[in-house]
Amino acid sequence: MLGIETIATYIPEARKSNYDLKEKFEIENDFIENKIGVKYHAIKDKGFKSSDMCVKAFENLHYNSNINLEEIECCIVVTQNPDLNIPHTSAIVHGKLGLSSTCAAFDISLGCSGYVYGLSNIISFMKNNGMKKGLLFTSDQYSDIIDEDDKNTALLFGDAATVTLISEDPTYIPIDFSFGTNGKEYKELINKDKLYMNGRAVFNFTATTAPKHIKALLEKNNLDDTNIMKYYLHQGSKYIVDTIRKRLKVDEQKVPFDMAEYGNTVSSSIPIILAKDIKNTPKGKIVLSAFGVGLSWASAIIEKIK
Amino acid sequence: MTVTVEEVRSIIEEAETMADMETLSNDVALTQQEVDSLDMANILLLIEEKYDVKIPDEDMNQLQSVDGIVAYLSGL
């Protein structure tokens, strides 16, 4: 069965501090630490593109897992900050890594919900085409599009990339997926010249949609909270993670919060937590749930089997 | 719609803000009483859900205090 064998990440070393923005945005430490939940943002090198961050993530994967490039049959990049409009970033990554000419490569344009969508896409695509090994990348560099004077976004986002190795030797296997979209609200989180987010609209959408979506997916699979080991939620902000957890009425220990040192990394937020926990958690079922730009949302149940 | 001060204060308490409910003034802006912008969004969402109403962004300046919220909802 195809599933997640392992995950590697690239979080740039450089940081920008939210404590330096206290005066500018008239905020206190409590707001930074307990509401936004982001103390520092990871910032990529100037000139670094989405594909460069993917390559860095792959180097970390290769360092730990010694990947045979000839065996990679599929390369998908989830990004909304592509290197160029044409061609797709996955082709650039394919070229930089030196993947085989028989390797399929395509992009998925999604934001925060992108990893869950990407996971379902790559597993389905590989299964239907008899493929055995594939790479799912997530990569976004919001530092290029942030309005530094906008409190709603300037305090939140960090740059990062991840790569997930999909193979027939999985650590996590998929159980079920569920997706949703509210395209009528697409303007609430949008990038024209700079990123704009209607914080209240996005909060309302997430607080009302995500808990119901997770509960419905569990019910569909005849599961409840007692069957779930962890809930890996998109790390939008501490306030939103806490709000979803409270509305789900689940134990705080089951819902990791991990963005304080690097920020909201969009589609990379869930695989970053998965990668950290991959060696430290027992077998069991895990809920993934992500929500954001689109407005789009996606949830999944996966199971750690070793 | 009939809405009481007590109901609105109960919603603010439910939102788990940093405001001290014992000393919270009904006629002073919540944002001047340890309620931040994220808490305000949460309070308004809880109000929308409890009373099954939609509060447009452009009306938010009418809902800055407990008294303001009561007056706004009572006028719907």
How many beta carbons lie within 10 A of that of residue A87, not counting itself? 14
Q: Fill in the DSSP letter of residue A71.
A: G
How many beta carbons lie within 10 A of that of residue A46, not counting itself? 8
Q: How far is A207 from chain B (nearest CA, A)?
A: 9
CB contact under 8 A, A199 and B36: no
Q: Is A234 part of the annotated catalytic residue set?
A: yes
Measured between CA atoms, the residue of chain B closest to residue A30 is B18
What pLDDT score was predicted for residue B48? 93
Residues with Cβ within 8 Å of residue A46, at least 6 apart in sequence: none
How many beta carbons lie within 10 A of that of residue A1, not counting itself? 10
Which residues, in sequence order, are bridge partners of residue A287? Answer: A231, A301
3-state secondary structure of A175: strand
Residues of A in contact with B45 (CB under 8 A): 203-204, 207-208
Domain spans in chain B, listed from the N-terminal domain onward: 5-74
What pLDDT score was predicted for residue A133? 97
Annotation: CATH topology of B5-74: 1.10.1200
Measured between CA atoms, the residue of chain B closest to residue A238 is B38
CB contact under 8 A, B38 and A207: no
d(CA A261, CA A16) in angstroms, rounded, equals 10
Q: How far is B37 from chain A (nearest CA, A)?
A: 9
Q: Which domains are delineated in chain A? A: 3-167 (3.40.47.10), 172-304 (3.40.47.10)
Question: A89, A96, A9, A90: which is closest to A57 by C-alpha?
Answer: A9
The structure tokens 């599009």 sit at A145
Report H helices in chain A. Answer: 22-25, 29-30, 50-65, 89-97, 114-128, 151-154, 199-220, 238-248, 269-277
d(CA A129, CA A9) in angstroms, rounded, equals 27
Q: Is A54 part of the annotated catalytic residue set?
A: no
pLDDT values of chain A reduced to their tens digit, one per residue, 306 residues: 999 999 999 999 999 999 999 999 988 899 999 999 999 999 999 899 999 999 999 999 987 787 899 999 999 999 999 999 999 999 999 999 999 999 999 999 999 999 999 999 999 999 999 999 999 999 999 989 999 999 888 999 999 999 999 999 999 999 999 999 999 999 988 998 898 988 889 999 999 999 999 999 999 999 999 999 999 999 999 999 999 999 999 999 999 999 999 999 999 999 999 999 888 889 999 999 999 999 999 999 999 998
The structure tokens 């030797």 sit at A169
| Residue to substitute from A28, A203, A212, A247, interface B, most B β-carbons within 10 A | A203
What pLDDT score was predicted for residue A152? 86
What pLDDT score was predicted for residue B72? 92
* Contact map slice: A 191-210 vs B, CB within 8 A: 198-201, 203-204, 207-208
pLDDT (tens digit per residue) in B9-59: 999 999 988 888 989 899 999 998 889 888 999 999 999 999 999 999 999
**Interchain contact B37–A (C-beta under 8 A):** yes
Q: Is A112 part of the annotated catalytic residue set?
A: yes
CA distances to B5, B10, B14, B47, B51 from B74, in Å = 11, 17, 21, 12, 11
pTM as predicted: 0.92
For B36, the closest of A35, A200, A204 (CB atoms) is A35
The DSSP line for A130-171 is T---EEEEEEE-GGGT--TT-HHHHTTB--EEEEEEEESS-S
What pLDDT score was predicted for residue A66? 78
What pLDDT score was predicted for residue A258? 94
